[in-house]
């Protein structure tokens, strides 16, 4: 946030980030949240009225990224050291099994 120049509209509250919101117990009271939060994934109507959100979040786990990388690398050039290392990162952390490299 500090990288924005003074007067830049992207740094204004609610443009991309928010730092405060209404108190759950008293909607006329504003609460400072203590950090910057991404406004893109914040559904004001769900918090204030409906308790239901129509926003869809796409969550990509790092393990999925590694597996996609390994699969593409393998398809393009056969089993490579990079592909095996990507799979080993997941296997080593999860079940302490590694493929032979």
Do 45 and 76 lie in one domain? The reply is: no
The total domain count for the chain is 2
The tens digit of pLDDT for each residue in 56-95 reads 677 788 989 999 999 999 999 888 999 999 988 888 766 5
Structural domain for 28, as ranges: 9-50
Assess if residue 13 is contained within a domain: yes
Q: What is the DSSP code (8-state) at residue 10?
A: G
Q: Is residue 15 part of a domain?
A: yes
Q: CA triplet 45, 34, 4: central angle to 5 degrees?
A: 90
Q: Could you tell me if residue 3 is inside a domain? A: no
pLDDT of residue 70: 94
Bridge-partner residues for 38, per DSSP? 17
Q: What is the pLDDT of residues 26-50, one digit of tens each?
A: 888 888 888 888 887 777 777 777 7
Are 39 and 17 in a shared domain? Answer: yes
Q: With respect to residue 14, please indicate whether it lies within any of the assigned structural domains.
A: yes
- Structure confidence at residue 74 (pLDDT): 92
Indicate whether 69 and 38 sit together in one domain: no
């Amino acid at each position: 946030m500090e990288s924005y120049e003074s007067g830049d509209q992207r740094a204004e509250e609610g443009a991309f980030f928010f730092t405060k919101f209404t108190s759950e117990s008293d909607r006329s009271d504003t609460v400072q949240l203590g950090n910057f939060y991404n406004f893109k994934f914040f559904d004001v109507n769900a918090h204030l009225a409906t308790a239901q959100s129509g926003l869809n979040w796409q969550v990509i786990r790092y393990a999925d990224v590694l597996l996609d990388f390994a699969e593409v690398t393998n398809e393009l050039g056969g089993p490579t050291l990079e592909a095996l290392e990507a799979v080993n990162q997941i296997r080593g952390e999860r079940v302490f099994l590694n493929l032979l490299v």
